[in-house]
């Protein structure tokens, strides 16, 4: 890096300290410290609203090597081509090395300059292997990242961290949802998207399938959804504890009862589950990366999926509901997808839109579109597959 190096540190709530060099903004940031195992996709990950309230550590040692393109580069739908929202959503970034000399035809600035322009601090020179080992053994925890002048007063940082609320106690969805309806496309066929912090990849996949997408606030009522006469409703990804979204779950429950086709994605799967009486729980360190294996119980096929979540549906709580397991995680057997036995309702915990990651499960959108035409997944028999 050019110029003098800035001291930086990451302090975890258990007292662990990781020293390094600062990049990005001279500031401090408090958030839940999590890790992502992807080798690429830092642009999409850092702008994914699901990371709101979190400090993101990348396990791949070199981040920023293909730089940062401009937000002004838009696709045919007017959406930023290389980003999943219009700004960085992570609170801070932890890397082993931040590349200062990127090489890519679309690059206009470095990772550090991008983060500096948006007030996001970063720390490099950290042994991210040791950090990930800590989080895997102890579980994700709150932390404070500080660089530059902010890293000097360790006592002040400790006090700030001690006074911060837990991740699960805060409603991060409210900060990343739209505040009023936002319309994409001009088709006569409408999909309402309950915006808990949607990725543009989800919007893009619905537009590609010939629908107009109406994004509504996460706490929209059943009546406000139905006034658009939607062909279906998507409950999208988002940050935080799903228990904060009781109003959203009530709305989804009414939609399912009235047989409006529903697709839940990531946080949306948890909301769908809650709407039918299922419960959620927090994973020890979550699933965040582009190489997470899932098994489709309706076919026995395995898929590599893109994931970013820290909560999941509790399997035993499905008993007594009409939800059936659709996908399970091949690593820990947690639920990765459900469908309703008698209603046009389905949900997946992974990200079928990818961005970043493999596009193996784009068919989930096609199944949802089939549901808007009266074809139901729930009529299929589940094979006896040992997961």
**Catalytic residue annotation:** 266, 351, 353
Question: In this structure, what token pair is assigned to residue 346?
Answer: 């389905």
Contact 54, 174 (CB under 8 A): no
Residues 6+ apart with CB under 8 A from 263: 232, 233, 234, 235, 346, 347, 364, 365, 368, 371
Strand bridging mode 262-265 / 232-235: parallel
Contact 359, 308 (CB under 8 A): no
Cross-sheet strand order for the sheet of 212-217: 182-184, 212-217, 190-195, 232-235, 262-265, 345-348, 335-340, 323-329, 280-296, 302-313
Handedness of CA 151, 153, 158, 160 (dihedral sign): negative
Residue 328, sorted as left (phi over 0), alpha (psi -120 to 50) or beta, turns out to be: beta
Cα separation, 194 vs 214, in Å, equals 8
Rg (CA), the chain: 21
Question: In this structure, what token pair is assigned to residue 112?
Answer: 């550090």
Handedness of CA 30, 289, 172, 245 (dihedral sign): negative
Residues 6+ apart with CB under 8 A from 84: 44, 47, 48, 49, 199, 200, 201, 355
Residues 6+ apart with CB under 8 A from 1: 21, 23, 98, 100, 112
> Which residues on adjacent β-strands are paired with residue 10?
18, 145
Diameter of the chain measured on Cα atoms: 64
Cα separation, 268 vs 239, in Å, equals 11
Question: In this structure, what token pair is assigned to residue 286?
Answer: 């979550």
Backbone angles phi, psi at 136, to 5 degrees: -70, -35
């Amino acid at each position: 890096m050019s110029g003098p190096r800035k001291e930086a540190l990451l302090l975890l709530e258990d007292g662990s300290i990781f020293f390094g060099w600062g990049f990005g903004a001279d500031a401090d940031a408090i958030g839940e410290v999590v890790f992502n195992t992807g080798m690429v996709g830092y642009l999409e990950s850092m702008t994914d609203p699901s990371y709101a309230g979190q400090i993101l550590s990348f396990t791949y040692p070199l981040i920023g090597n293909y730089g940062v393109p401009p937000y002004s580069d838009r696709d045919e739908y007017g959406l930023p081509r290389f980003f999943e929202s219009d700004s960085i959503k992570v609170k801070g970034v932890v890397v082993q090395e931040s590349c200062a000399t990127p090489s890519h035809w679309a690059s206009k600035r470095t990772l550090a300059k991008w983060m500096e322009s948006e007030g996001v601090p970063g720390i490099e020179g950290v042994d991210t292997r040791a950090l990930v080992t800590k989080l895997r053994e102890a579980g994700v925890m709150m932390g404070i990242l500080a660089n530059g002048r902010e890293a000097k007063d360790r006592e002040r940082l400790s006090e700030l961290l001690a006074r911060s609320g837990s991740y699960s106690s805060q409603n991060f969805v409210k900060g990343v949802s739209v505040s009023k309806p936002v319309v994409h496309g001009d088709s006569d066929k409408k999909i309402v998207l309950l915006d808990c912090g949607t990725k543009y990849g989800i919007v893009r996949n619905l537009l590609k399938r010939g629908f107009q997408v109406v994004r509504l606030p996460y706490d929209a009522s059943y009546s406000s959804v139905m006034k658009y006469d939607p062909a279906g409703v998507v409950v999208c990804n988002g940050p935080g504890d799903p228990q904060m979204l009781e109003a959203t779950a009530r709305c989804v429950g009414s939609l399912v009862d009235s047989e409006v086709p529903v697709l839940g994605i990531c946080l949306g799967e948890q909301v769908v589950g809650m709407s039918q009486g299922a419960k959620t729980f927090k994973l020890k360190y979550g699933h965040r990366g582009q190489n997470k294996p899932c098994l489709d119980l309706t076919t026995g096929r395995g898929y590599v999926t893109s994931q970013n979540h820290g909560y999941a549906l509790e399997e035993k709580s499905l008993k007594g509901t009409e939800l059936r397991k659709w996908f399970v995680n091949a690593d820990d057997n947690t639920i990765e997808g459900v469908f309703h036995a008698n209603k046009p309702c389905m949900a997946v915990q992974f990200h079928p839109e990818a961005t970043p990651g493999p596009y193996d499960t784009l068919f989930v959108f096609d199944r949802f579109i089939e549901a808007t035409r009266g074809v139901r997944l729930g009529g299929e028999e589940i094979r006896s597959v040992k997961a």
